[in-house]
Amino acid sequence: MLHRVLAPAILLLAATAAAATQFQSGDWAAAKMGNRCFVYTERAAPDTSGTLIFSFDVKGFNAAFQYEYTPWPGETDAPWDEEDAVVLEVDGSALWLGDEMFTGYGAGGYVAEMTAGFVPEMLLNTMSAAQSVTVALDRVLLGETWVYGVFSISGFREALARAAEWCSFDPRNLPRS
């Protein structure tokens, strides 16, 4: 079963200042809660939504990557269908890693989660990005591809460095699951 995490933004609202350590840089933030560190987006491009989240245990174990969908006001239907496939892009170039993401409904709402063994490669791709990471879904029944979130890379490396410091891991050399 894929490791599930709650959206750091939701957790941070509930956490006390003593229980969570936070850092913000550009469009990204890092947080440490207990023995887990999170690196997540603070905002998406206009007309897109959601949050990208990387999370790590101490020493980089149990790394996870997910996209959490944020519904538009008044939206109540599922944002995608079971047969829809995730499409990931870095700087406008498609990554095959979208094939390793699976949609579902998690504790924080609708999510697309990556198979754990592929998170290190997604992290390296994000670290090498110059401008953005995009999450889209191939809407099979509609015959269309819908962009759900376009996320600036501004501040990512700084937020990741802080999380790596707090949780004592090397982002370029994560333990393999």
Proportion of the chain in helix, strand, coil states, percent, rounded to 5: 25, 40, 40
pLDDT band at 126 (very low <50, low <70, confident <90, very high): very high
Specify the number of domains making up the chain. Answer: 1
Percent of the chain with pLDDT over 90: 75
Question: What is the DSSP-derived secondary structure letter of residue 176?
Answer: P
Q: Is residue 177 part of a domain?
A: no
Q: Is residue 172 part of a domain?
A: no
What is the bridge-based pairing of β-strands 109-114 and 64-68? antiparallel
More confident residue, 54 or 43: 54
Q: Is the pTM of this model over 0.85?
A: yes
- The rounded mean pLDDT for the chain is 89
Q: Is residue 48 part of a domain?
A: yes
CA distance 45 to 120: 25
- What's the whole-number mean pLDDT along residues 51-63? 97
Q: Is the CA virtual torsion 1, 101, 43, 174 positive or negative?
A: positive
- What's the whole-number mean pLDDT along residues 3-16? 42
Q: Is residue 64 part of a domain?
A: yes
Q: Which range marks the domain in which residue 123 is found?
A: 8-167
Q: Is residue 175 part of a domain?
A: no
Q: Is residue 173 part of a domain?
A: no
- What's the whole-number mean pLDDT along residues 138-161? 96
| pLDDT of the residue at 109 | 87
pLDDT band at 106 (very low <50, low <70, confident <90, very high): confident
| pLDDT of the residue at 31 | 98
Q: Is residue 71 part of a domain?
A: yes
Q: Is residue 3 part of a domain?
A: no
